Amino acid sequence: MENSQKAWELENAVKLVDPHRDALYGYDKDEQEAIASQRPWKSDPHHFKNVRISAVALLKMVMHARSGGSLEIMGLMQGKIAGDTFIVTDAFRLPVEGTETRVNASAEADEYVVQYLSACRENGRMENAVGWYHSHPGYGCWLSGIDVATQMLQQSHVDPFLAVVIDPDRTISAGKVEIGAFRTFPKDYKPAASGGSDDYQTIPLNKIEDFGAHASQYYSLEISHYKSSLDSYLLELLWNKYWVSTISQSPLFTNREYSSKQMLDLSQKIEKAQKAIEANARGGPGLRAAAKDSALDKIVRDSNKIAGEEMTGLLAGDVKAKLFNGLGAPSVQAHAPRLEQAQL
């Protein structure tokens, strides 16, 4: 049980802050008001570069995302600003209607936010809402056109504000939280052309167009996680309650619908790449080679990712079977002397 908890913290790089002071949880109202009045992010669209999320806030967001199944969910994050870093101390879900492609915040949700934050302040928790989170079940962490519009609206009214996306399906398959944090650029801002990123992620075929159309309108922030002394206590309580189900579950069974969708999407990409190569066959050796390499490279990456996740699930099941199958059953060797004595 303890090893499982440590493995989860290691996979998600959860670090312990000072257990005596828990400095990241301290909130200075005057300091936050001074930062808000200076507004350094207005002169530098890339001002914010990092996000630090508490372990409990991370767990709450992941559990909320997982509870939505194939539907998107939405919530808000509380915290503060420290230099170029968002510090997220807590998160809470919103009563919104979700579909497979979007979440719609209603007037009821706005009223709920006001009441929730007021209740927090009455109980001595002064942190403001510093961002919103929602889920992308099975199709990665990025901002769609609707997400970009929502984040731009939030940044124009309640900045500084952060957008976080969690993929609960890929979290289960990989055993590590699939999460991304983003900020949008101002409408009149044109970011410098980048040389590309090594952080490749699989995008379903039916989402690629939306993914590429808005990728230049926002940028990602570096995410790290931390835990306080109270977080450590809460995590221990959670592991004590759920360690049996954690060991007994298999991602291959829990996430089998997502695995099937991955295989279907991969077959569609192979078919599309084949047609593209055939269509470019008359375009000359250079064009044919470029189209072939680009399409097949992405397909190989996607297939390797699927194969790796399946192998990890199979190996985990094999290890559990060898450890626990027959546990508690009487040993043949232990009873052998007794049988010999009985025969004598």
Tens of pLDDT, residues 218-248: 999 999 988 877 777 777 777 777 666 666 7
Band of pLDDT at residue 100, cut at 50, 70 and 90? low
Mean pLDDT value of segment 245-259:
73
More confident of the two residues 79 and 304: 79
Predicted pLDDT at 185: 93
Q: Is the pLDDT of residue 254 over 90?
A: no
Q: Residue 184: helix, strand or coil by DSSP?
A: strand
Predicted pLDDT at 266: 81
Q: How far apart are CA 301 and CA 211, in angstroms?
A: 18
Predicted pLDDT at 243: 66
Q: How far apart are CA 5 and CA 234, in angstroms?
A: 12
Task: Give the residue among 154, 84, 142, 82 at the shortest CA–CA distance from 113.
Answer: 154
Q: Is the pLDDT of residue 290 over 70?
A: no
Task: Give the residue among 218, 219, 205 at the shortest CA–CA distance from 145.
Answer: 218
Q: Is the pLDDT of residue 11 over 80?
A: no
Mean pLDDT value of segment 70-86:
91
What burial class does residue 17 get, using C-beta atoms within 10 Å of its C-beta: 0-12 exposed, 13-18 middle, 19+ buried? Answer: middle
Band of pLDDT at residue 78, cut at 50, 70 and 90? very high
Are 239 and 4 within 8 A, CB to CB? yes
Q: Is the pLDDT of residue 196 over 60?
A: no
Predicted pLDDT at 64: 92
More confident of the two residues 172 and 25: 172
Band of pLDDT at residue 287, cut at 50, 70 and 90? very low
Provide the percentage of residues in the chain whose pLDDT is more than 90. Answer: 20
Mean pLDDT value of segment 54-68:
90
Residue 163 DSSP label: E
Phi, psi of 336 (to 5 degrees): -60, -45
Predicted pLDDT at 322: 79
Q: In b/e form, how buried is each residue of 118-153, taking b as 16+ CB within 10 angstroms?
A: eebeeeeeebbbbbbbbbbbbbbbbbbeebbebbbe
Task: Give the residue among 188, 125, 126, 129 at the shortest CA–CA distance from 160.
Answer: 129
Predicted pLDDT at 92: 92
Band of pLDDT at residue 286, cut at 50, 70 and 90? very low
Question: If you average pLDDT over every residue of the chain, what do you get?
Answer: 78
Mean pLDDT value of segment 213-221:
87
Predicted pLDDT at 319: 80
| Helix 229-248 / helix 2-11 crossing angle, nearest 10 deg | 110
Q: Within 13 A of 186's CA, how many CA atoms are on the CB side? A: 13
The mean-pLDDT minimum among 23-27, 46-50, 172-176 falls in 23-27
Predicted pLDDT at 221: 95
More confident of the two residues 273 and 281: 273
Q: Is the pLDDT of residue 109 over 50?
A: yes
Q: In b/e form, how buried is each residue of 158-181, taking b as 16+ CB within 10 angstroms?
A: eebbbbbbbbbbbbbbbeebbbbb
Mean pLDDT value of segment 158-171:
91
How far from the centroid of its chain's Cα atoms is residue 325's Cα? 33
Q: Is the pLDDT of residue 337 over 60?
A: no
Predicted pLDDT at 339: 47
How far from the centroid of its chain's Cα atoms is residue 104's Cα? 20
